[in-house]
Amino acid sequence: MQITTITPVHYPLSVRAGVNEFSAAYGELVQRITALGDGQVLYAPDWHCPAEAGDQADRPGSTAYSDITRDDRDIRLGYWRGRTVDGFELTLHCFNSELAVVELVLEPASDIAAHALKEWAEEQTKLAISQFANREFARIMAALREANIENLQLRKECSGLKCLWVGSILNLSSDDVQHKDTQILLHQWLDATIRPEDADDIINGRLRHSLRWLNYVIVAQEHQTDRQKVEAMILAQYFYAVQYYINRDLLADISDVFLEKNLKTSELKLQRVRARTQLHITTYYEARNHLVRAKKQWMEEILQAWDFDDLLENAQRMVDVCSTRINEINNKKRSLASILTDSLLALIGLFAILDLALQFVTYSREMVTSPTLNYYDEQTSGLLSVLATWNIDLFMGVNLLIVVLLGALYAVLKLR
């Protein structure tokens, strides 16, 4: 009997958003990563896409659907495999969204209860990941930082591995299932899952696996089939973990935006997190299409047990909230721009009235003092004569009062 733990970890490595995974730039990025240290830093992912005539060498997706018995696409950046201090086999599966998955194969004692077995597996996994982070992973990150690879982002504020949760696979043989102690262990192991009756189905031979929330069981068949089940769990853990973090960031950003006074900052923050969400959902549906049928079904079975569709629907609802808030911000900006434009035009108009009044006074005084200006009139204009005698301060005061009254009238009408 073996225990294989599948643990999503947060790590400081990602690919710049918008880099097409089928582009030559992405293929070059992966090649540079896996070429570091003569291929001993990270091993190359298995794209199953050999170079053909007219194809770019090692370009992902260059021969899509060429073999329906295996995946034609691997979304990993690379992987590391080795032994822990205690001799357990550890594999780090590196993905491109600041999340990786650690696969650890443990050898537990045979006479141990399910609860104690689960606790032991989690304890050993966290210990192994901590030791790995301080040794091999530190070396990997140092090599990547030194290489300075284009489009590869490495966060400086985070250099270790942060465990999210630990999923455990109980690996059994057909002979193991026939033992009474193992059957008791099976019932205890699957008791907290959504289908505890899977234990009876496995014992009776109707099922060869149980792929439920965090506690899994695989009864050995051929190696390729068993391996595909583990790979389905790794992908399911990855997609769920990324969506979980995205939803959390979405909720935090939406909450922050309602308190943010700077409209431009709010809009950029919402646009960024919305784009990240939509890109991940698109990546999930696209990657699913490149899996062999059995692995795709197993991955969907796992995600269904975790209510992954609810997670996606909640993300879509928050994306809609983002879009609504962005529209509100844009409408508010347009409204402010409209008010500013109208106010400027009104201010220009009011000053034009004041300028016209000053010109009127100037003209009236010139006409009174220069008879030639009213040569064609029968007599001097009475209105101009009166205005010419007004004190300029009084006249300016009256005009300013008129301007203020007109401005107040405009403001009242605008508010209505």
Domain extents in the chain: 1-172, 349-415
CB 104 within 8 A of CB 237: no
The number of CA neighbours under 13 Å toward the Cβ of 108 is 27
Residue 87 has pLDDT above 80, yes or no: yes
Whole-number percent of the chain with pLDDT over 70: 88
Query: According to the model, what pLDDT value does residue 383 have?
Result: 67
Query: Can you tell me the mean pLDDT for 139-155?
Result: 87
3-state secondary structure of 47: coil
Residue 110 has pLDDT above 80, yes or no: no
3-state secondary structure of 96: coil
Residue 415 has pLDDT above 90, yes or no: no
Give 273's pLDDT tier (boundaries 50, 70, 90).
confident
The residue that leads in pLDDT, 60 or 95, is 95
Residue 54 has pLDDT above 70, yes or no: no
Distances (CA, A) of 300 to 274, 284, 308, 309, 391: 24, 11, 9, 10, 89
Q: What is the 3-state secondary structure (H, E, C) of 169-187?
A: EEEECHHHHCCHHHHHHHH
The mean pLDDT value of the chain amounts to 82
Can you read off the two tokens belonging to residue 137? Answer: 């992973």
Can you read off the two tokens belonging to residue 114? Answer: 């399910």
Give 267's pLDDT tier (boundaries 50, 70, 90).
confident
3-state secondary structure of 5: strand
pLDDT in tens, 10-34: 988 888 877 877 778 888 888 888 8
Residue 193 has pLDDT above 70, yes or no: yes
Query: According to the model, what pLDDT value does residue 52 have?
Result: 40
- What span, in angstroms and rounded, lies between the C-alpha atoms of 233 and 10? 17
Residues near 333 by beta carbon (within 8 Å), at least 6 away in sequence: 263
Can you read off the two tokens belonging to residue 347? Answer: 């201010």
- What span, in angstroms and rounded, lies between the C-alpha atoms of 201 and 209? 9
Query: According to the model, what pLDDT value does residue 48 have?
Result: 41
Residue in the block written with tokens 């009127």: 360
Query: According to the model, what pLDDT value does residue 49 have?
Result: 44
Query: According to the model, what pLDDT value does residue 106 have?
Result: 93
Query: According to the model, what pLDDT value does residue 105 have?
Result: 94
CB 213 within 8 A of CB 165: no
- What span, in angstroms and rounded, lies between the C-alpha atoms of 8 and 55? 34
Query: According to the model, what pLDDT value does residue 350 have?
Result: 73
